[in-house]
Structure 1
Amino acid sequence: MNGIRTYNKVYKIGIIGCGRISKKHIESINHNQLFDLVSVCDKNKSKLEHLNLKSNLNTYQDFELMISSENLDVVSVLTDSGSHENIINKIAGKIKNIIVEKPFVLTTSGAKRVVKKCIENSTRIFVVHQNRLNKTVEKLFELKNQNFFGKIFLCSVNLYWSRSDEYYNSDRWRGKWISDGGAIANQGIHYIDIIHKLLGDPYSISADSSRALNKIETEDTALINFKYKDGCLVNFQLTTAIRPKNIEGSISVFSEKGFYMIGGEALNELKAVKLLNYKANIDENYVIEDVYGKGHQIFYDKISKSIKNNSESEFDGINFINQIRLLNAIYTSIETSSKIIFDNRKDYKTKLGTYEN
């Protein structure tokens, strides 16, 4: 296919937002057996012209015009997180299936509004969390579900990545409270998501952050601690201030039956494992081209099948409301310099998604 439009597919799909991540989405859509990418939209004309040189797509600078002009079955929203709620509110009902990049909104109240709007308009919404689909991470979930760990008592999560001022200056929304968040909300959210899926809601949260090197509104470095009711402790070290390049993204899980450690630049390597009655498989390691890994293609395959079969998906938007609540509870701990007893019914209000300088 290689970016060439075909007309024997089932679902026509358009993209809103053609920034850094759009390349992975376009590649994944073009490899999918059911999706036909027919249009893209971005306010920045130069981004559209660049894409149009590589593929025969209809291009727009106004997403509402694209929605009204194209007979689309699916839309992928890849703009800054702060804009997601406004876009989804305007296209829900007009589009039956919406794919949206993480975090799908920045506030808990916004998450509830978006999901409610989609349900009322019979629109499905799917949240992109492709790192769940890394082989090493899928194996982690499998081992947990099959009780290879027994009692987990400690997890260590490290994200040592490099994001320069050039990166943050490449788009006006990067590193802003109203539109993006920092190392926690943008990069760290993948790792928070994996731990949340693995262990569920924490009992308490304590966190702190700083702007170590990058000239941004939000944090580029953070320490987060979760404690669970059964005593399990989780420590996150998250930073985008590493110089000169990325070092690793890793998760280590320690339990009464042994340990499981994954790392590499983006959770793509099985570093060490020793569990009762489990023999490691070298095939769980794989080479990646970039920090995004290979999960996007698998994600689109899963979503296309879920749409075709009208079946539930682990990526359904309703499943991520509590994730956004957890994200804001972390920022509440930072802003109040206090330990938070996590309440999964509370709307934590922070600078994230609300403060505009």
Structure 2
Amino acid sequence: MNFAIVGCGFIAKKHATAIEKIDIAKLVAVCDKVPATMEYYKEEYDAEKYTELEQMLEKENIDIVCICTPSGFHTSIAVQIAEAKKHIIVEKPIAMTIEDTDKIIDACTTNNVKLSVVHPNRYRPVVQELRKILEQDLLGKISHASCIVNWNRNQEYYDQAPWRGTKQHGGGVLMNQAIHNLDLLLWFMGLPNQVFSMEATRFRNIDAEDVSVGAIKFGSGALGTVEASTTVYPKNYEESITIFGEKGTVKIGGTNALYFEHLDIIDMPDNEIKELKESIKANPWGTPGHQWIIEDMVSAINEDREPAVTGEDGKNALKLVLSFYESAKLNQPVIF
């Protein structure tokens, strides 16, 4: 299948690398308003270069387009691609508002094209194993969960691109970093009923928040906490999700949530726990998440099914971020 990439910034290289690793996939074109950013893809992959999306869609034989632009531009680009009858893989967050998200989803539905949102952390080996534990109900009834992202993004990071840290095009720590973890929290725990949040901009000279704390009441009745920041000195400190159940406690953690930091389950023998921990340590990253997402889209088209991470999944993660923002603004709980 023929791929194109729109937006040739940092994240686009992950898409290009993933496409190259898939036997039946080929990167045929790239599109960006800045011609110099496309040179790498011409030299490395022999991809045709376009500064105008409409021209690329008309001239090239494309099956799937990866949208890697700043988040605030996703909607208009996605609608144009959908109307050209091309399938879409869009980087997180799917959009910056629910209204814009619905425009993307509706355009894909109307034009009968598939839509997948890049939440690659779902494919980390430790995350996959925790999902299996929950699907097998090994933890029993869940009382609560904790989600933590305490990272460092210094001022130089935000100054690299004018959209970073802006409420219109990038968002703060919740929208741009922790949204991956919020997606996992929803994947593990289900949808919330209610959220409450407080946020601040403490250290970074940006428009959006650099630290946020929040609480969630899930539909199941379980509770959750979220702590996210880009203010940690001097480097990334912790990325973790902990789930507390009546029959077990599991924490995936480290600086990038790659390992079982705690795994204690009544119905899981000690030797099985040890083997599982060791197998994860032996290959913590596994196959890159972007490769999984792209391979899944190819399979979804061939099998005529929904992709594993759907537009609705992307919408739910965005809605949780926006609910936190609304709660912080109102200084009161909000209904999800």
Which TM-score applies when normalising by structure 1? 0.88
Whole-Å Cα distance in 2 between the matches of residues 233 and 313 of structure 1? 29
User: What is the match of residue 181 of structure 1?
Assistant: 171
* Structure 1 runs not aligned, ≥5 long: 1-10, 343-357
1:219 counterpart (204, 209, 216): 209
| C-alpha deviation, 1:104, in angstroms | 0.7
How many angstroms does 1:167 deviate by? Answer: 1.3
Asked if 1:92 is matched to 2:86, the reply is no
- Residue 50 (structure 1) aligns with: 40
Residue of structure 2 in register with 1:296 after alignment = 290
Distance 2:86 2:249 in 1: 43
Correspondence 1:283 to 2:273: no
1:288 is displaced (CA, Å) by 6.5
Q: Following the alignment from structure 1 to structure 2, what is the Cα–Cα distance between the partners of residues 327 and 184?
A: 6
Q: Deviations over 1:161-219 (max 9, x none)?
A: 11121111111111111111110011111111111111112222110111121111000
SS at match of 1:203: strand
Paired position in structure 2 for 1:324: 318
Which stretch of the first structure deviates more once superposed, 204-213 or 50-59? Answer: 50-59
Amino acid at match of 2:203: L
Q: Could you tell me how far 1:231 is from its partner in structure 2?
A: 4.0
Deviation at 1:252, TM superposition (A): 1.0
Summarize deviations over 1:72-122 as a string: whole Å, max 9, x none: 111000111110101012121313311100111111111112111111112
Instruction: Give the 3 Å change call, closer, same or farther, for CA 189–293 of structure 1 in structure 2.
Output: farther
Question: Unaligned 5+ residue runs, structure 2?
Answer: none
Cross-structure match for 2:303 = 309
User: What does residue 133 of structure 1 align with?
Assistant: 123
Distance 1:213 1:50 in 2: 35
Q: Match for 1:304: what amino acid?
A: V
Residue in structure 1 matched with residue 135 of structure 2 by the alignment: 145
Question: CA–CA distance in 1 between the matches of 2:175 and 2:219?
Answer: 25
* Structure with greater helix share of residues: 2
With over 3 angstroms needed to count, the CA separation of the structure-2 counterparts of 1:229 and 1:310, relative to structure 1, is: closer
Question: Are the aligned partners of 1:210 and 1:221 in contact in 2 as well (CA < 8 Å)?
Answer: yes
Q: 1:82 to 1:30 in 2, by over 3 A?
A: same
- Superposed displacement of residue 70, structure 1: 0.8
- Find the residue that maps to 1:219 and give its secondary structure: coil
Instruction: State the secondary structure of the residue aligned to 2:84.
Output: coil
Amino acid across the alignment from 1:238: A
Superposed counterparts of 1:62-73, under 5 Å: 62-73=52-63
Q: 1:345 corresponds to which residue?
A: none
> CA-to-partner distance for each residue in 1:329-356, whole Å, 9 max, x for gaps?
11110111111132xxxxxxxxxxxxxx
C-alpha distance in 1 between matches for 2:282 and 2:24 = 26
Aligned 1:13-24 pairs, distance under 5 A: 13-24=3-14
TM-aligned CA deviation for residue 318 of structure 1 = 3.3
Query: Structure 1 residue 321: deviation in Å?
Result: 2.8
Q: In structure 2, give the amino acid aligned to 1:324.
A: L
Q: Is residue 2:161 matched to residue 1:171? A: yes
Query: Whole-Å Cα distance in 2 between the matches of residues 21 and 287 of structure 1?
Result: 23
Cα deviation, residue 303, structure 1: 1.5
The answer on whether the counterparts of 2:34 and 2:51 sit within 8 Å (CA) in structure 1 is yes
Distance across 1 between alignment mates of 2:220 and 2:283: 36
Q: How many residues align?
A: 330
Distance in 1 (CA, whole Å) between partners of 2:127 and 2:197 is 25
Report the residue type matching 2:281 in the other structure. Answer: N
Counterpart amino acid of 1:283? Answer: S
Q: Any idea what SS the aligned residue of 1:180 has?
A: coil
Change (3 A) 1:47 1:243: farther
1:341 matched to 2:335? The reply is yes
CA contact under 8 A between 1:92 and 1:118: conserved in structure 2?
yes
Structure 2 equivalent of residue 114 of structure 1: 104
Q: Shift of the alpha carbon at 1:310? A: 1.1
8 A contact 2:118–2:309 mirrored in 1 = yes
Contact 1:268 1:293 in 2 (8 A): no
CA distance in structure 1 between the partners assigned to 2:131 and 2:267 by the alignment: 16
Q: Does 1:256 align with 2:246?
A: yes
Counterpart contact for 2:152–2:232, Cα < 8 Å = yes
Q: What are the Cα deviations for residues 276-310 of structure 1, in whole angstroms up to 9, with x where unaligned?
A: 22232121235668xx9821112222121111111
Q: Secondary structure at the match of 1:285?
A: helix
Distance (Å, rounded) in 1 between the aligned partners of 2:170 and 2:287 = 21
